[in-house]
A and B are shown apart, each in its own frame.
Chain A
Amino acid sequence: MISFTSILTWVTFFPLLGVLVILFIPRDRPNAIRWTALIASTATFMISLVMLSQFDGADPGLQLAVRRPWFQLAGVEIEYSLGVDGLSILLILLTTLLTPISILSTWTAVEERVKEFMAFFLLLEVGMVGVFVALDLFLFYIFWEFTLVPMYFLIGIWGGPRRTYAAIKFFLYTMAGSILMLLAILWLGLRFETFSVPDLIAQGNIPADIQTWLFLAFAAAFAIKVPMWPLHSWLPDAHVEAPTAGSVILAGVLLKMGTYGFLRFNIPLFPEAAARYAPWMAVLAVIGILYGAAVSYAQRDVKKLVAYSSVSHLGFVVLGLFALNSQGIQGGILQMVNHGLSTGALFIIVGMIYERRHTREMDDFGGLWRVMPVYAALTLVVTLSSMGLPGLNGFVGEFTILLGSFGSEAIGSSWFAGLAAAGVILAAIYLLFMFQKLFLGPLDKEENKTLKDLNWREVVTLVPLILLIFWIGLYPRPFFNLIAPAVDKLVATLQAAAFVVH
Chain B
Amino acid sequence: MSFSEVLQGGSLFAYAPLIIAFPLLGLLINMIFGRRLGERAVGIIASSAVGLSFVIAILQFFALSTHPEGTSVPIADWITIGQLAVPWSLKVDTLSVTMMLMVTGVSALIHVYAIGYMHEDVRFQGDPGRFTRFFVFFNLFVATMMVLVTADNFLMMFVGWEGVGLCSYLLIGFWFEKGEDGIGNAIAGKKAFITNRIGDFGFLIAMFLIFGAVGSLQFADVFHWAHEHGLENVDVITAITLFLLLGATGKSAQIPLFVWLPDAMAGPTPVSALIHAATMVTAGIYMIARNQALYDVAGLSSNLVALIGAATALFAATIAVGQFDIKRVLAYSTISQLGFMLAAVGVGAQVAGMFHLVTHAFFKALLFLSAGSVIQGIEHGHHHLEHVGANPGGGEAFDPNDMRNMGGLRSKMKITFWVYLIGALALSGIFPLAGFWSKDEILADANHESIVIFLLLTVAAFFTAFYMGRQILMVFFGQPRSEAAKHAPENPPVMTVPLILLAVGAILGGVLNLPGMHTLTDWLEHTLHVHVTEFNPVVAGLSTLLALLAIGIAWFVYGRQPMGKGSPDPLRRMLGPIFVGMENKWWVDELYQFLIVRPYIALADVLADVIDWRFWHDWFHDTVLARTFREGTRWLNDAFDLRVIDGIANGLGNLTQAISGRMRFLQTGYVRNYALSFLVGVLLVLSYFIFGSS
Task: List residues of A whose CB falls within 8 A of some B CB.
Answer: 73-75, 113, 116, 153, 156-157, 164, 168-169, 172, 175, 179, 182-183, 186, 190, 230, 233-234, 236-237, 291, 294-295, 297-299, 308, 325-327, 330-331, 366-367, 369-370, 384, 389-391, 396, 399-400, 402-403, 406-407, 414, 417-418, 421-422, 424-425, 428-429, 432-433, 436, 439-444, 474-477, 480, 484, 488
Contacts and interface: CB of A to CB of B under 8 A. Distances in A.
B81 A480 contact: yes
A175 B186 CA distance: 45
Given A172-B674, A291-B607, A433-B190, A476 B201 contact: no
B134 to A, nearest CB: 14
A308 B607 CA distance: 12
B81 A391 contact: no
Contacts of A474: 78
Nearest to A430: B604
Given A74-B690, A422-B201, A298 B605 contact: yes
A475 B76 contact: yes
B182 A442 contact: yes
B177 interface: yes
A143 B204 CA distance: 40
A475 B79 CA distance: 8
A407 B211 contact: yes
B677 to A, nearest CB: 10
Nearest to B678: A175
B659 A182 contact: no
Interface string B587-614: 0000000000000110111011100100
5 contacts: A298-B605, A403-B84, A403-B208, A417-B208, A424-B197
A391 B127 CA distance: 31
A443 B166 contact: no
Given A294-B600, A402-B208, 13 more contacts: A74-B690, A186-B685, A190-B693, A298-B605, A389-B162, A389-B163, A403-B211, A406-B208, A407-B211, A421-B201, A425-B200, A440-B177, A475-B77
B160 to A, nearest CB: 8
A476 B77 CA distance: 9
A308 B161 CA distance: 28
Given A294-B607, A327-B84, A440 B186 contact: yes
A222 to B, nearest CB: 19
Nearest to A157: B660
Between B84, B161, B603, B629, the greatest number of chain A beta carbons within 10 A of the residue's beta carbon is seen for B84
Interface in B170-187: 173, 176-177, 182-183, 186-187
A172 B162 CA distance: 43
Nearest to A149: B656
Contacts of A442: 177, 182-183
Contact of B190 (A168, A236, A436): A436
B78 A476 contact: yes
Given A406-B208, A407-B212, A441 B183 contact: yes
B535 to A, nearest CB: 43
A116 B660 contact: yes
Contacts of B169: 432
A400 B685 contact: no
Nearest to B31: A377
A331 B694 CA distance: 45
A116 B659 contact: yes
A425 B671 contact: no
Contact of A233 (B82, B603, B616, B663): B616
A403 B83 CA distance: 11
Given A440-B183, A475-B76, A230 B616 contact: yes
A299 B77 CA distance: 40
Contacts of B205: 418, 421
A439 B176 contact: yes
Contacts of A421: 201, 204-205, 208
A294 B604 contact: yes
Contacts of B193: 428, 432
A432 B260 CA distance: 15
Contact of B173 (A182, A297, A402, A440): A440
A400 B663 contact: no
B81 A326 contact: yes
A74 B190 contact: no
B80 A477 contact: yes
A399 B212 contact: no
A390 B157 CA distance: 10
Contacts of A367: 176-177
B198 A475 contact: no
Nearest to B179: A441
A475 B187 contact: no
Contact of A425 (B161, B194, B662): B194
A327 B82 contact: yes
Contacts of B659: 116, 153
A499 to B, nearest CB: 18
Contacts of B604: 294-295, 297-298
A432 B190 contact: yes
B681 interface: yes
Contacts of A291: 607, 612
A19 to B, nearest CB: 13
A234 to B, nearest CB: 8
A400 B176 contact: no
B389 to A, nearest CB: 28
A400 B608 contact: no
A156, A298, A400 — most chain B CB neighbours (10 Å): A298
Given A74-B689, A422-B201, A480-B79, A295 B608 contact: yes
B234 interface: no
B660 A436 contact: no
A70 B642 CA distance: 32
B84 A168 contact: no
B660 A153 contact: yes
B79 A400 contact: yes
Interface string B57-97: 00000000000000000001111111010000000000000
A298 B186 contact: no
Nearest to A380: B170
A440 B608 CA distance: 25
A432 B166 CA distance: 11
**Most chain B beta carbons < 10 A, residue from A156, A326, A428, A480:** A428
B177 A443 contact: yes
B665 interface: yes
A444 B197 CA distance: 31
Given A74-B694, A295-B608, A406-B212, A186 B621 contact: no
B155 interface: yes
A399 B159 CA distance: 12
A424 B250 CA distance: 15
Contacts of B76: 475
B617 interface: yes
A349 to B, nearest CB: 18
A400 B84 contact: yes
B671 A168 contact: yes
B158 interface: yes
A135 B554 CA distance: 81
A441 B662 CA distance: 42
A182 B159 CA distance: 46
Interface in B312-370: none
Nearest to B602: A298
A422 B208 CA distance: 13
B685 A414 contact: no
Residue from B197, B201, B659, B690 whose CB has the most chain A CB atoms within 10 Å = B197
Interface in B210-265: 211-212
Q: Which 9 A-B pairs have the closest CB atoms?
A: A298-B608, A440-B186, A442-B182, A326-B82, A440-B176, A406-B208, A390-B159, A298-B604, A441-B183
Nearest to A326: B82
A462 B397 CA distance: 42
A439 B201 CA distance: 27
Contacts of A183: 685
Contacts of A190: 689, 693
A294 B176 CA distance: 25
